[in-house]
Amino acid sequence: AQKVTQAQTEISVVEKEDVTLDCVYETRDTTYYLFWYKQPPSGELVFLIRRNSFDEQNEISGRYSWNFQKSTSSFNFTITASQVVDSAVYFCALIPNQAGTALIFGKGTTLSVSS
Amino acid sequence: DSGVTQTPKHLITATGQRVTLRCSPRSGDLSVYWYQQSLDQGLQFLIQYYNGEERAKGNILERFSAQQFPDLHSELNLSSLELGDSALYFCASSVELAGRGTGELFFGEGSRLTVL
């Protein structure tokens, strides 16, 4: 089965706290791509990152970092020193094989950051 | 602003009716995707068009159809509407590399359909 699981439905933090959003994926393919998208209150989804299955290097972009571990089929997303503007729904997604193009999304995690 | 335009933003209609949702992709993007977002199903891929031709099909009902026109805009037609079709319908366009999608999609703001 090709599937993405985001076990955390909602997370609430206070500004400046660090927060990690979990993502676990399932696929039998050896080549696949993982993504994170953000859906702010305005509604449109915004691409954050793409990672292919052969690249397990962690990535950092400003306050955002991603930890990809094939051994546990996880692709977790950490926001450091969270801000109110980080409040959004975050989706993890998978393209399960080299030929596919359609994203399989998880159910999303709603992050609320209060001041 | 993603550069993807969807109309209408909101639509209220009755069961049994037919509606058309319209999408203009980003300039230069040949691929258009349609997704449905609902509370119970989450984000579900419906269909993809590439340069006027259907490329991939997801969980699209037979009552739904789509097409992409020569100017690359796309329309999603929903007919014999049921209460359960109430959802947010997103269009997205993408950068293509060697004719394949990268997964980096640019989403429109969505069309919120309410079926009463």
- Tell me the residues of B at the A interface, defined by beta carbons under 8 Å apart: 2, 4, 31, 33, 42-43, 45, 48, 55-56, 58, 88, 90, 92, 94, 100-110
Rounded average pLDDT over B65-69: 97
* A44–B2 C-beta distance less than 8 A: yes
Facing residue for B42 by CB, picked from A35, A101, A108: A108
Q: What is the pLDDT of residue B98?
A: 61
- For testing contact with chain B, the best of A10, A34, A38, A44 (most B CBs within 10 A): A44
Rounded average pLDDT over A43-52: 92
B34: which chain A residues are within 8 Å (Cβ-Cβ)? Answer: none
Rounded average pLDDT over B3-19: 97
Q: Give the three-class secondary structure for A50.
A: strand
Q: Confidence class of residue A100 from pLDDT cuts 50, 70 and 90?
A: low
A31: which chain B residues are within 8 Å (Cβ-Cβ)? Answer: none
Rounded average pLDDT over A93-105: 81
Q: What is the pLDDT of residue A97?
A: 73
A40: which chain B residues are within 8 Å (Cβ-Cβ)? Answer: none
Facing residue for B100 by CB, picked from A101, A106, A108: A101
The CA-atom distances, in angstroms, between A31 and each of A28, B28, B40, B100, B101 are 9, 28, 30, 14, 15
* B43–A105 C-beta distance less than 8 A: yes
Query: Distance from A49 to chain B by nearest Cα, in Å?
Result: 8
Q: What is the pLDDT of residue A18?
A: 97
Rounded average pLDDT over A80-104: 89
Rounded average pLDDT over B72-83: 97
Q: What is the pLDDT of residue A63?
A: 95
- The model's pLDDT over A62-84, given as tens digits with 9 standing for 90+, comes to 999 999 999 999 999 999 999 99
Query: Distance from B59 to chain A by nearest Cα, in Å?
Result: 11
Rounded average pLDDT over B3-13: 96
Q: What is the pLDDT of residue A101?
A: 74
| DSSP annotation string for B10-74 | EEEE-TT--EEEEEEPPTT--EEEEEEEETTTEEEEEEEEETTEEEEE-S--TTEEEEE-TTS-E
Answer yes or no: is pLDDT of B83 > 90.
yes
Task: Give me A43's structure tokens.
Answer: 């509604």
Q: Confidence class of residue A99 from pLDDT cuts 50, 70 and 90?
A: low
Answer yes or no: is pLDDT of B102 > 90.
no
- The model's pLDDT over B27-57, given as tens digits with 9 standing for 90+, comes to 989 999 999 999 888 999 999 999 999 988 9
Q: What is the pLDDT of residue B41?
A: 87
Q: What is the pLDDT of residue B100?
A: 66
Query: Distance from A13 to chain B by nearest Cα, in Å?
Result: 23
Closest CA to A14 of A81, A114, A83, A85: A114
Closest CA to B2 of B99, B104, B71, B80: B104
List the 72-91 stretch of A: residues with Cβ below 8 A of B: 91
* A33–B103 C-beta distance less than 8 A: yes
Angle at A83 between CA A78 and CA A88, to 5 degrees: 70
Q: What is the pLDDT of residue B96?
A: 73
